Amino acid sequence: MSWSWSRAACARDDTRAASADGPPFAVRRSKALSSFEGRRRARILARVEPADIVRGVVVTLAGYLIGGIPWGIIVARAMGRPDPRTVGSGRTGGANVLRAAGSRAAIVAGFLDLLKGSAVVLLARLVGAGLLFEILAALAAILGHSRSPYIGFAGGRGVAPALGSLLVMYPPLAAAAVAVYLAVFFIGRYSSLASLSASAVVGLIAILLVTSALLPPLYLLYAVGGTGLIWLFHWDNIVRLVRGQERRVGPPSGSV
**DSSP per-residue string spanning 147-162:** SBTTTTSB---SHHHH
Q: What does the longest C-alpha to C-alpha distance in the chain come to? A: 111
Task: Please tell me the predicted confidence (pLDDT) of residue 41.
Answer: 57
How far, in Å, CA of 235 to CA of 224, rounded? Answer: 16
**Hey, what's the torsion of the CAs at 148, 150, 155, 159, to 10 degrees?**
-50
Query: How sure is the predictor about 214, in pLDDT bands with cuts at 50, 70 and 90?
Result: very high
- Determine if residue 251 is left, alpha or beta; phi over 0 gives left, psi from -120 to 50 gives alpha, anything else beta: beta
Per-residue model confidence as pLDDT tens digits over 83-132: 999 988 889 998 889 988 999 999 999 999 999 999 999 999 999 999 99
Mean pLDDT in residue range 12-33: 53
As a whole number, the mean pLDDT across the chain is: 86
| 247 pLDDT above the threshold of 90 | no
| 159 pLDDT above the threshold of 90 | yes
Task: Please tell me the predicted confidence (pLDDT) of residue 209.
Answer: 97
| 22 pLDDT above the threshold of 80 | no
Comparing 18-32, 66-80, 199-213, the range with the smallest average pLDDT is 18-32
Closest CA to 177 of 156, 199, 155: 199
pLDDT cut 70: percent of the chain above it:
79
**What is the distance of C-alpha 203 from the center of its chain?**
9
| 251 pLDDT above the threshold of 60 | no
Task: Please tell me the predicted confidence (pLDDT) of residue 252.
Answer: 39
- For residue 122, with 0-12 CB atoms within 10 Å meaning exposed, 13-18 middle and 19 or more buried, which class applies? middle
| 10 pLDDT above the threshold of 70 | no
Over the Cα atoms of the chain, what is R_g?
28
